[in-house]
Structure 1
Amino acid sequence: MKINNIRVATLASIVLVAALTRLLPHPFNFTPIGAIALFGGAYFSKKYLAFLIPLSAMLLSDALLGFHNSMWAVYLSFVLIVAIGMGLLQKVTAGRVFGSALLSSVLFFVVTNFAVWYGSAGFYPQTLSGLGACYLAGLQFYQQDFFGNLFFNTVLGDLFFSSVLFGAFEALKSQVPSLKAA
Structure 2
Amino acid sequence: MTPRFLTLSLLIFATAALRLLPHWPNFTPVVALALFAGAYVEDRRLAFVVPLAALLLSDWVLGFYPGMVFVYSGFAVSVLIGFALRRRRGLRRIAAGTLAGAIAFFLISNFGAWLTTGLYPQNTAGLAAAYVAGIPFFRNALAGDAVYVALLFGGFWLAERRFAWLRQGSDKIGQAAL
- Assess same fold via TM > 0.5: yes
Q: Quote the residue 1:11 is aligned against.
A: 8
d(CA) in 2 for partners of 1:37, 1:79: 7
Report % sequence identity.
Answer: 38
From 30, 33, 36, the counterpart of 1:33: 30
Q: Is the 8 A contact 1:89 1:97 kept in 2?
A: no
Q: Distance in 2 between matches of 1:158 and 1:109?
A: 12
Output the amino acid matched with 1:79: A
Shift of 1:127: 2.7
Alpha carbons 1:77, 1:108 under 8 Å: kept: yes
CA contact (8 A) 1:35 1:161 kept: yes
After TM superposition, list the pairs within 5 Å mapping 1:81-120 onto structure 2: 81-120=78-117
Which segments of 5 or more consecutive residues in structure 2 lack a partner in the other structure? 170-178
1:125 corresponds to 2:112: no
Question: Does the 8 Å contact 2:34/2:76 carry over to 1?
Answer: yes
TM superposition shift of 1:119:
2.1
Does 1:167 pair with 2:163? Answer: no
Structure 2 counterpart of 1:134, from 130, 142, 148: 130
Match of 2:84, SS state, is: helix
| Contact 1:89–1:96 (8 Å) recurs in 2 | no
Q: Work out the CA distance in 2 between the residues paired with 1:120 and 1:66.
A: 15
**Cα distance between partner residues in 1 of 2:9 and 2:168:** 15
1:47 matched to 2:47? The reply is no
How many residue pairs are counted as aligned between the two chains? 169
Q: TM-score, normalised by structure 2?
A: 0.88
Once residues 53 and 116 of structure 2 are traced to their aligned partners in structure 1, the CA distance between those partners, rounded to angstroms, is: 26
Q: Which residue of 1 is the match for residue 71 of structure 2?
A: 74
> Which sits farther off after the overlay, 35-44 or 54-63?
54-63
Stretches of structure 1 that go unaligned for 5 or more consecutive residues are 143-148
Provide the aligned C-alpha RMSD in A. Answer: 1.5
Using the size of structure 1 for normalisation, the TM-score is 0.87
**What is the Cα deviation at residue 179 of structure 1?**
1.2
